[in-house]
Every structure is written in C-alpha cells, then in structure tokens.
Chain A
Amino acid sequence: MDDYTVSVLTNIGLISFIALSAYLLIIAGEMSFGQQGFFGVGAYTAGVATAMYGVPLPIAAVMAMGAGAAAAFLVGLPTLRLRGLYFAMATLAAAEMLRIVFELIHFQREIDGEPIGPDGTQGFRGIRWVFENGVEPEGFLAMVWGLLFAVVALFLFMERSKLGATLRMLGEDPELARMLGVHVERFKLGVAAAAGALAALGGALYAHHNTYIEPRNFDIMLGVHSLAYALIGGLGTAFGPLLGVLIDIGALEGSRVFHGYRMIVFGGLVAVLLIFRPRGLLDERVVHWLKRRLA
C-alpha cells in the first residue's frame, strides 16, 4: 500500500470512532451536536500524557477514555432531560465551550530544550509517541482498525443482548421504558458517558496520527459530520456509521474525482437521503432483511 492509501484508511478508522459515538446516542433517542468536544478532550488528554509525561500510548488512551466519559457525564447531567432540538443546541453550546477552553489552555514543559504542550490557538505540536516508538504507519493502521473491530464486535454483541433491546426501547419511547422499570435518567447518563469515552478514544488516536492538534480541529463541522455519517450510513446496525464514513472520506475525498466539490456532493447526498431514507441506507428494515437472507 502506498502512503496515501494508508493515510486515508487510517483516517476512515479514526473518524469511525466519533461516528459510532454519535450512533450510540441516536439509537438511545438523543441527537448530540457536541461529540466533537469529547473527541477533543481525548486528543488533548492523550497528547499531554504521552508527549509531556512519557506515558505509553495504551495507558494514555485509557486515560483519555476516562476523561471523555467524565466530561460527557458532566455535560449529560443537566442536558439529558431536554428533548430534541433543545438537547441538540445545549450539546452544541457545550462543545463550543470546550473548544474555547482548548484555546485558553497554555500549559507547556521544556523537553529536550523545546517547549512541548498545548499553546492556545497555536495548537499542540510534537505528539510523536508513534514515531519515537518505531511504529510504522501500517502498524498504526492495524492498531486503529483492530480497536475499531473490537468496538464494532462489542456493539454487535450488545445489540443482540437485553441491553441493546433496552437501548432501542429507550430511543423509541422513553415513557414505555420507564413503565417497564428502566431507570431512564441513570441509563441515559451511562450511555452518554460511554459515547463520550468512545469519542475520546478516537480523539486520542487522532492526535497521535497527526502529531499536531489545534482547537479548530474540534469545531461544529466535525460534530455534524459524525451525526451525518450515522444518519446516512444507517441506524439499523453498527456497520451503518462505518458505511457513512466510507462514503464521505473513502469515496469522495479519497478518490479525488470530486476534488473541490466534495462538500457540495456530500451535502446534497445528506439532504436528499434524509428525505428518502430518514433512518439511513442500512436501516432496521434492510438489516432485518439481510439477516433473514444470510440465516
């Protein structure tokens, strides 16, 4: 594989984490416009841990997930009882606040004679753990996709279990779920924290792939893209968000056919698909049909 292909495939894997995080919240009945904030929390936490304190990446990734879950929990506490548009706008405000906080953080340490660490709007460069530890781009690609497959396997397993059924019931009708004895608020907070951890894991890997992050990377564009990936890919299965990412980054950006027109093509695709397939290409009906075919 040439470098460009490896880079595109790695990017598809990285963005899939935040798309899956948006998907998890959608099937629980909440549309978040703020998952990019937790992606950013993960990127900054893991970057600080490896580049400034010499923590190995696997441990830093776990720390990032913890930070992402904690941030999502705190944002979820006051917002999860809001419905629809109000939740969407509150999460958007929360993520923009996080982005501005990244702009305000100036926290650097002298390492080998050069200052390393987040420097406000100047960004955070020198997150070089992957290179310093001799991981080849192909090796990193395998790591990203290995983790992604583990997450997707977890999703598939969950959706077959009672937990998955509860999750979808919550998305369809929270009052019904409440009457059947589900502790709705506690359950939703758990889901929000899990989605935050998932986005943060993606962010941690993203920071180490790019070696440079800046607050602008975590703006509303990223958040709405991740929602759009889940919505056009399909809400019937965890493969849906992956399909969405594949269509946008793989087919539109990777092929270079639509160079300069990618946003116009993708934007039109999203708007039209939302009319004709409101629950995406791989919606529940298609997934059910496929399962019967395969069985």
Chain B
Amino acid sequence: MIFDLIQNTFDGLAMGASYALLAVGFTLVFGVLRRVNLSYGPAIMIGCYAATWVSLSFHSNVFALLGITILGSVLAGTYVERLCFAPHRQGSAIAAMVASFALWMQFEEAVTLVMPKHLYDFPPMFDGDPLAFGPLSLRAEALVMLSCALAICFALHRMLYRSRFGLAVRAVIDAPLAAQLAGINVPRVLLLVFLLASGIGGLAGWLIASTHTQVTPMLGMWSTLKGLLAMMIGGLGSLPGAVIGGLALGVLEAHSQWFLGPQARDLIAYLLMFVLLAWWPRWMTTQSAS
C-alpha cells in the first residue's frame, strides 16, 4: 500500500514534469501578451509530426529529431503569431483566443491529411528498462524532463532579469506605450517572446513523444489542455508557479486515477480549474512574469 502510494507519486511527478515544461511555454506567452494561445499544443504537434516524417524517411538520429521538432513548432508558432496575435495586439483578447482555435482546426486537419494513420511510432530517447530504486521504478526520461523544466525556468528567469532583452520584455509588460516611446520595438519583442515559447513547446513535444514513443493527432489538444491547467494551478503568468503547478497536476492526476479511475482524474482536474477561477480569482490575477 505504502509502496503503491510512493510509486504513484513517482509516476505523477514523471507525468507532471511534462506538464511543467508545457506550462512554462504557455505561461511565457500569457505573462507577456495576456493572451491565451489555444494553438500552442497543435503547433507542438506540427513539430512532432515533422520529426516523425523525417525519422520515417531518413532514419535520422533521435537528437537530430529534436532540432526538427523545435524548428517545426517555431514555424507553426510564427504562423499563429502573425495571424492571431499580432493583429489583435490592441484589440480583444477573446478574438485572439478564438482565432488561435481556428488555426488549431487547420493544424489538426493538415496533419491528418499528410499523415493519415492514427498512430505513428516515435524513436525513444534511451533503450532499456526504467531505473529501479528497490521496489520502486522511475523512467530515465522523467528525470531528463524534470531537469529540462527546471533549467529552462532558471534560464528564463536569468534572461528576464539579467539581459537587455529581458529588460525590454519587462518594460513591454509594465507599460507598452512607454516602452514604445523609449525606442523598444514592441511588436518585435512580442514576436520573439512568442517564438521562444514555441521553441520551449517544441522541446517539450520532443521529450513527450520520445517518452511515449508515439505521436497521435490528440497530442495537440492534450498539450494545450494540460499546459493550460498546469498554468492555472500555478497561478497565471508565474514561471516557478508553472513548474510547481505542472508537478502538482501530475501527482493529483496519478492519485485520483489510482483511487477513482481515469474519468474521475479528468473531472477533478477541471473541477480544480473551475474552483480556482470562480472562487479564488485573486490567485489568478496577482501573478505576473516579472
């Protein structure tokens, strides 16, 4: 019993590491643009499918696929930013959200047109069994993923507070008009932040696909929803919050699935999101990327 509890917590942390990584990219966009990008997951899926196509055609190295996944996600992200976020910069946040959903539909259909099979194999990062700690086991990929999430969180924090670009980003968050007048190219800063988030998403997608050794068209919706949930649990717009929120979501899901089944797992996750939004709105508004 106690081993089950600990093993479930381990599994939850392993899953939570991927949620944390997804949430960091999601939060970066939300913290700076104050916009929700529903196409975040589908753009990651484009990157993963591009890498799958390359690996099927050329038998390339699994680490070369990382570059392709990131490139694919960033290209898809550029398309999303140009069509959904740049035009609505001054306008309604909801219009941008609906537009990003419209591109989600495009991505999903494009992927199933080019690669119609329901499931494609993705090469694994490591061969071999999970690491064993006595009766407990943990997959090595989970450790890689968790270290990546922490490293990226740390690097983003350094970038925001120690670099000129970070200074520009913080200026744009606090006072876009003043930043513009001070000579900062605001649209360019926003585009770069968006592409950075897409790149982090691409890394997350590659780690997730090579951990699960498969890609399906569901990856898009899954990534968006898990990233969104983890971001909200961690408090909207906070980077360390995103990592903690992702891990918390993973552990919560692992335990509720063990005790109550998979449907209850999703129900509890959405219930938490609903309750946080409806009864604890201050949790959602006081945080900021800077």
Inter-chain CA distance A227–B270, complex, in Å, is 21
Asked whether, in the complex, the Cβ of B102 is within 8 Å of the Cβ of A267, the reply is yes
Asked whether, in the complex, the Cβ of A90 is within 8 Å of the Cβ of B274, the reply is yes
A274 with B263: in contact, given A82-B278, A90-B277 (CB under 8 Å)?
A: no
Asked whether, in the complex, the Cβ of A267 is within 8 Å of the Cβ of B103, the reply is yes
Among A86, A100, A267, A268, which residue has the most Cβ atoms of chain B within 10 A?
A: A267
Q: Nearest-CB distance from A103 to chain B (Å)? A: 5
Inter-chain CA distance A38–B162, complex, in Å, is 49
Q: Nearest-CB distance from B253 to chain A (Å)? A: 13
A103 with B97: in contact, given A90-B274, A93-B273 (CB under 8 Å)?
A: no
Q: Which of A93, A228, A266, A275 contacts B270 (CB 8 A)?
A: A93
Binary per-residue interface labels of chain B (2-34) against chain A in the complex, 1 for a CB within 8 Å, 0 otherwise: 000000000000000000000000000000001
Q: Nearest-CB distance from A33 to chain B (Å)? A: 8
Asked whether, in the complex, the Cβ of B98 is within 8 Å of the Cβ of A270, the reply is yes
A278 with B91: in contact, given A89-B228, A90-B277, A268-B106 (CB under 8 Å)?
A: yes
Among B102, B110, B263, which residue has the most Cβ atoms of chain A within 10 A?
A: B102
B95-111 residues at the A interface, CB under 8 angstroms: 95, 97-99, 101-106, 108-110
Chain B residue at smallest Cβ distance from A103 = B263
Chain B residue at smallest Cβ distance from A101 = B267
Inter-chain CA distance A228–B94, complex, in Å, is 11
A86: which B residues are within 8 A, CB to CB? 277, 281, 284
A269: which B residues are within 8 A, CB to CB? 102
Inter-chain CA distance A104–B265, complex, in Å, is 12
A78 with B279: in contact, given A90-B274, A101-B267, A271-B83 (CB under 8 Å)?
A: yes
Binary per-residue interface labels of chain A (82-105) against chain B in the complex, 1 for a CB within 8 Å, 0 otherwise: 101110111001101100110110
Binds B, one of A8-16, A61-69, A180-188, A256-264: A256-264
Asked whether, in the complex, the Cβ of B102 is within 8 Å of the Cβ of A271, the reply is yes
Asked whether, in the complex, the Cβ of A97 is within 8 Å of the Cβ of B274, the reply is yes
A78: which B residues are within 8 A, CB to CB? 278-279
A31 interfacial by beta-carbon distance below 8 Å = yes
Asked whether, in the complex, the Cβ of B95 is within 8 Å of the Cβ of A278, the reply is yes
B136 interfacial by beta-carbon distance below 8 Å = no
Asked whether, in the complex, the Cβ of B106 is within 8 Å of the Cβ of A82, the reply is no
A266 with B105: in contact, given A89-B273, A271-B99 (CB under 8 Å)?
A: yes
Chain B residue at smallest Cβ distance from A95 = B270
Q: Nearest-CB distance from B272 to chain A (Å)? A: 9
Asked whether, in the complex, the Cβ of A264 is within 8 Å of the Cβ of B97, the reply is no
A210-262 residues at the B interface, CB under 8 angstroms: 220-221, 224, 227-228, 231, 260-262
Inter-chain CA distance A227–B97, complex, in Å, is 11
A166: which B residues are within 8 A, CB to CB? none
A96: which B residues are within 8 A, CB to CB? 266, 270
Asked whether, in the complex, the Cβ of A263 is within 8 Å of the Cβ of B105, the reply is yes
The chain B residues found within 8 Å of chain A, CB to CB, are 34-36, 83-84, 87-88, 91-95, 97-99, 101-106, 108-110, 113, 221, 228, 232, 263-264, 266-267, 270-271, 273-274, 277-279, 281, 284
* 8 nearest A-B residue pairs (beta carbon): A78-B278, A270-B102, A263-B109, A267-B106, A267-B105, A267-B102, A93-B274, A263-B105
- Supplied contacts A85-B97, A228-B101, A264-B109, 14 more A-B pairs, CB within 8 Å: A78-B278, A86-B284, A89-B232, A89-B273, A89-B277, A90-B277, A94-B270, A104-B264, A224-B98, A264-B110, A267-B109, A271-B103, A275-B87, A278-B92
14 contacting pairs across A/B (C-beta < 8 A): A78-B279, A86-B281, A94-B270, A97-B274, A100-B266, A104-B267, A261-B109, A264-B109, A267-B105, A268-B102, A271-B102, A274-B98, A275-B99, A278-B91
